[in-house]
Amino acid sequence: MNTSANANLFSRLFDDLTETNRLAIEKADGTRISYGDLIAQSGRVANVLVARGVKPGDRVAAQTEKSVEALVLYLATVRAGAVFLPLNTAYTLNELDYFIGDAEPSLVVCDPSKADGIAKLADKVGAKVETLDSDGKGSLTEAAAKASADFVTVPRAGDDLAAILYTSGTTGRSKGAMLTHDNLASNSLSLVEYWRFSKDDVLIHALPIYHTHGLFVASNVTLFSRAAMIFLPKLDPELIIKLMARATVLMGVPTFYTRLLQSPNLSKESTRHMRLFISGSAPLLAETHREWSARTGHAVLERYGMTETNMNTSNPYDGDRVPGAVGFPLPGVEVRVTDPEAGKELARDEIGMIEVKGPNVFKGYWRMPEKTASEFRKDGFFITGDLGKIDPRGYVHIIGRGKDLVISGGFNVYPKEVENEIDAIPGVVESAVIGVPHADFGEGVTAVVVKDKSAALDESAVLHALDGRLAKFKMPKRVMFVDDLPRNTMGKVQKNVLRETYKGLYAK
């Protein structure tokens, strides 16, 4: 895609920048950071990384709260030619032990409160540890304050890794999706054009920055278009509505829109200055889409992406944004629906496996060549694991998942991992974890448990036992008890039956 000597994502973001005084980021407290500031700050941090022994190709792991400084760390990492590894801030030490052991980073950046525990994990792989808190303070920024802002961006090829993001599956452990400089740059530039981003835009950024949506879609698209973003630490519906008077775009997960709809201050007048509302990371209920249109006069633009591919499809900027559909393939991206077993392409409106191909599709799974090979067709199409269809108008619809992955609040939840923790609780015979429709979270993590008849076990006891063993977003919202789990003739638990049984569990 990029034939220049330096295909480093950072170079593509900033080398042609002419207006260094342009506003890039405004913090919630009103502090303003220019594009020139980002270049200088990333240079200082890149110098610290190199001083700590980070070499091109090394992994830099980060479990940090959202801050501008954390975003700068991402930019500095790719600028230094290293590979950025963002980790969900909810992960426990038990979970981090696997990620750090598998990725073998040379440096781990974490909140000061977690430094002692993480240091023990880092020692196992010979990694150094630096700290960074929610205010952007810590040993990393202290060292950066003394470092030079001058740094020559390390040349990288387009096929070199820029990031590794761990994603869940239905069997085995989490897999590290390897994303290249070309993957990230090509997708961002495509979205800038498709969503009509310009330097006049102001994005309300209230997403986390440890996954694709907040880090690569929201941040990279804004920076590539020379736009500005108002950087909020978390979802604050009333503040977001207030900021709409001087912003133009909001990117969110379905939870954003259901929470905003609960405010009496949301109206056509309060959203008058906005040009675009984008939703992703989980299915947006059609009723939410319609209610939003009625209240604001804006149709939410829903798109479809995943950790391994960045964004694949999007409803059109101009034209019908169909509730329940995720739109058309992005320019340069091919999408097809195939028979899950035979791999034969299916006709329009037939439900099958969604497969994608394009410059956005990842390089493979970290240190899993056999798994990588099994997920790609011989002609280069990636098998997403999502079931869907393409309607006669060409709109892609996601029907469900061939795998039993649960997406709750935009986060992937790996059922087997939760089941393993539940099954380890004394008195539990077996369990099945499913996703059940939830207006606020897209899907609510739900555990169906068979207990020993002599066990005095209830819902609160199960949740108490899981506390501290799992990240909060993986915790079941409800625990239901049954005498037996439904099984087919092969003895496999029929999770589709369970989903049907409990589909109304979270109905309002």
CA angle 57, 61, 62 (to 5 degrees): 140
Q: What is the pLDDT of residue 2?
A: 42
The pLDDT tens digits of the residues spanning 160-210 come to 999 999 985 444 578 999 999 999 999 999 999 999 999 999 999 999 999
- Which phi and psi (to 5°) does residue 325 adopt? -110, 155
491 to 184, 421, 430: CA distances (angstroms): 42, 22, 13
- Model pLDDT, residue 170: 43
**Backbone phi, then psi, for 497, in 5-degree steps?**
-70, -40
What are the CA-CA distances from residue 182 to residues 33, 128, 268, 309 (Å)?
27, 29, 39, 12
- Output the pLDDT for position 508: 67
Q: What angle do CA 75, 78, 82 make, to 5 degrees?
A: 135
The separation between CA 62 and the C-alpha centre of its own chain, rounded to angstroms, equals: 15
pLDDT at 3: 40
Q: What is the pLDDT of residue 415?
A: 84
Strand extents, DSSP E, 90-146: 107-110, 128-131
Across the 508 residues of the chain, what is the mean pLDDT of every consecutive 10-residue run? 71 95 96 98 98 98 98 98 96 94 98 98 98 98 98 98 82 85 98 98 96 95 98 97 98 93 98 97 86 98 96 97 96 95 92 95 97 95 93 92 81 84 92 93 95 93 95 96 82 86 91
- Whole-Å CA distances, 224 to 98, 192, 492: 34, 7, 48
Give the Å distances, CA to CA, from 295 to 264, 288, 291, 442: 10, 10, 6, 20
CA distances from 399 to 178, 339, 411 (A): 27, 14, 18
| SS3 readout for 188-253 | HHHHHHHCCCCCCCEEEECCCCCCHHHHHHHHHHHHHCCCEEEECCCCCHHHHHHHCCCCCEEEEC
Q: What is the pLDDT of residues 471-506, one digit of tens each?
A: 999 999 999 999 999 986 556 788 989 999 999 999
pLDDT at 1: 42
DSSP 54-96: --TT-EEEEE--S-HHHHHHHHHHHHTT-EEEE--TT--HHHH
The whole-model pTM stands at 0.85
Supply the pLDDT for residue 313: 98
Distance CA 508, CA 500 (A): 17
The whole-angstrom separation of Cα 116 and Cα 124 is 13
Q: How far apart are CA 33 and CA 190, in angstroms?
A: 26
What gap in Å lies between CA 11 and CA 137, rounded to an integer? 27
Using alpha carbons only, what angle is made at residue 204 by residues 198 and 208, rounded to the nearest 5 degrees?
A: 115
Q: What is the pLDDT of residue 169?
A: 47
